[in-house]
Copies of this chain bind each other. A is one copy, B any other.
Amino acid sequence: MDSIKPEDSRKSRETFKEFLTQQGLRVTNQRTAIFDAAFNQEEHFTAEDLLDFSREIDRSVSRATVYRTLPILTEGGLLKEIDVGRDYKFYLANRGQKTEQAQVICQDCEKIFEIEAPFMEWYARSVAQKVGLEPVSQRLQVHAHCIRLKEDGICPNSDS
């Protein structure tokens, strides 16, 4: 439903170009295509997904470049990297949400929800302080079952 409006995507593409030059990196067609592809997605995606999406924009994008660009984007805070313990990672466009978000993973439909988790930073700090450490980042993952699945035999989150 909430598709990204052209103005928005144009603006964020500018932000990306500024970001690259600021980092002393060059603006290339491939990097722009990868960035655009990533920010076209509303949901989580894998590196392989991103390769496909990027190629729809620029046929020449290679797997190597996707894997080279991903750490640039995640370390720059433009993309969120999510590891739910599978043998590949998920990524999500960071559209400036709060940093205090937890991942709730539905074990019935495999969907990942990004849910606000108030005071998570404060809570993580209180835990880390017990061993004299200063948090840099924290992540809370909740593996869960759908309540309605038990009752109705249907997971309302799964692809209907």
Contact = CB atoms under 8 A, between A and B. Distances in A.
Interface string A50-70: 000000000000000000000
B140 A144 contact: no
A135 interface: yes
A127 B145 contact: no
Contact of A127 (B130, B142, B157): B142
A27 interface: no
From A107, A134, A136, A145, name the one whose CB has the most chain B CB atoms within 10 angstroms. Answer: A134
A139 B138 contact: no
A132 interface: yes
The main secondary structure of chain A at its interface with chain B is strand
Contact of A144 (B134, B142, B156): B134
A153 interface: no
Interface of A: 83, 85, 102, 104, 106-107, 113, 115-117, 123-124, 127-128, 130-148, 156-157
Closest 10 CB pairs of A and B: A133-B144, A124-B142, A138-B142, A83-B85, A128-B144, A135-B144, A128-B142, A140-B140, A113-B131, A136-B143
